[in-house]
Amino acid sequence: MNNRKKSRPLTRRLFRDRLNPLDFMTDGQIIKNYRLDRASIYDLYEEMQDDLKKSTHRSSSLSVSLQVMIVLRYYASGSYMNVIGDAHGVSEMAVSRCVNAVSKNITGNIQRYLKFPVSNVNKQNIMYDFYDINEFPLVLGAIDGTLIRIKAPSVDEHLYVYRKGYHALNIQGVCNSNNRFTNVVARWPGPTHDSYIWND
């Protein structure tokens, strides 16, 4: 009787075809699923190309364009990572790595994307634009806050428990007349009062 273990037959590893959604989706579908238009997504590709391109010899590494699309879908839908992975032909772990890498890239270059008006000319233009909307004078931005649910932090986790019993950040945002963010503050625990964030 042969006691040696039978070795499993080698099977060729197959990779699913990862199509870029921009290649086959209409403009309307792109905005619906990713919340940005085609040109804005291309701009993101270009800006993140050097930071996100992986130096690997593996044929299965994710392109920068696919990484960005995965993360935009995750942001837009708020769905589970395994659902996003299934939609793009990648694993849940790959989605997690993409979200981490792209999010760090965005926050590390936040000044490129968010610019509060500082020159008098920019301020005047924004005030004129707001006045054109509804004749409301001297407006530089529309401000609001929202709670974003988070995992419990490892340090001072009790500070982040919102009154409804979950951990959250209280995020404050300012938009201009074109619905573009000009300022975002995303560092305060959920229970922090809006007026405190504004005064700070």
- Residue ranges covered by each domain of the chain: 21-108, 114-199
pLDDT at 39: 92
For the cut 90, the answer to whether the pLDDT of residue 60 exceeds it is no
- Report percent pLDDT > 70 for the chain: 87
Q: SS in 3 state form for 100-135?
A: HHHHHHHHHCHHHHCCCCCCHHHHHHHHHHHHHHHC
For the cut 90, the answer to whether the pLDDT of residue 154 exceeds it is no
CA–CA separation, 151 vs 170, rounded Å?
14
How do residues 160-200 score in pLDDT, each as one tens digit?
Answer: 998 888 899 999 999 999 888 999 998 899 999 999 998 98
pLDDT at 62: 87
For the cut 60, the answer to whether the pLDDT of residue 143 exceeds it is yes
**CA distances in angstroms from 91 to 2, 18, 43, listed in the order given:** 39, 12, 26
pLDDT at 40: 92
Reported as a pLDDT band with limits 50, 70 and 90, residue 59 is: very low
pLDDT at 197: 92
Phi, psi of 185 (to 5 degrees): -115, 115
